[in-house]
Structure 1
Amino acid sequence: MLTTCGAVTEDLSDRMFLFPQQSNTAHVKLNIAQKELSVVTLCHRSFTDLKRDHALFSLATSSNNNDFLIFWDGTNKEMAPWIRDTTVKYGGIDYNPNMWHSICTTWDSKSGLVQMWFDGIPSMRKSISSGSSIKGTMMITLGQEQDSHGGGFDIKQSFVGMMSDVHMWDYILSSCQIQKYMDDRQLTPGNVINWNALDFQIVNNVLIEQKLNSCH
Structure 2
Amino acid sequence: MKFLILLLVTACAASPQDLSGKMFIFPQQSTRAYVKLNTTVDSFSAATVCHRSFTDLKRDHGLFSLATSNSFNDFLIFYDYTNREMEPHVRHGKSEYGGLDYKPNVWHSICTTWDSQSGLIQLWFNGLPLTKKYVSSGSNISGRPIIILGQEQDAHGGKFDINQCFVGMMADVHMWDYVLSACEIQKYVNELNFTPGNVLNWGALDFQIMDRVLIESKQMMCV
The structure 1 residue matched to 2:111, chosen from 104, 124, 144, is: 104
5+ residue gaps in structure 1?
A: none
Q: Does 1:163 align with 2:179?
A: no
Aligned residue pairs: how many? 215
Alpha-carbon distance in 1 for matches of 2:98, 2:12: 39
How far does the alpha carbon of each residue in 1:52-79 deviate from its partner, in whole angstroms, 9 at most, with x for none? 0000000000110100000000000000
CA distance in 2, matches of 1:168, 1:145: 17
State the one-letter code of the partner of 2:118. Answer: S
Q: Report the equivalent of 2:205.
A: 198
- Stretch deviating more after TM superposition (206-215 or 93-102): 206-215
Contact (CA 8 Å) 1:65, 1:85: kept in 2 or not? no
Q: Is the 8 A contact 1:35 1:136 kept in 2?
A: yes
Q: 2:11 is matched by which residue type in structure 1?
A: C
Contact 1:17 1:163 in 2 (8 A): yes
Residues 43-192 of structure 1 mapped to structure 2, 5 A cutoff: 43-192=50-199
Residues 2-53 of structure 1 show CA distances to partners (whole Å, capped at 9, x for unaligned) of 8210233200000000000010110000000011011101100000000100
Please provide the CA RMSD for this pair.
0.9
Indicate conservation of the 8 Å contact 1:17/1:162, yes or no. yes
Q: CA offset at residue 85 of structure 1?
A: 2.7
> Can you give the 5+ residue segments of structure 2 that lack an aligned partner in the other structure?
1-7
Task: State percent identity of aligned pairs.
Answer: 63
The answer (yes or no) to whether the contact 1:43–1:166 under 8 Å persists in 2 is: yes
Aligned partners of 1:104 and 1:210: how far apart in 2?
22
Q: Which moved more, 1:168-177 or 1:50-59?
A: 168-177
From 30, 34, 55, the equivalent of 1:27 is: 34
Shift in Å, 1:86: 1.7
SS in 2 for 1:10: coil
* TM-score between the two structures when normalised by the length of structure 1: 0.98
What letter is aligned with 1:38? S
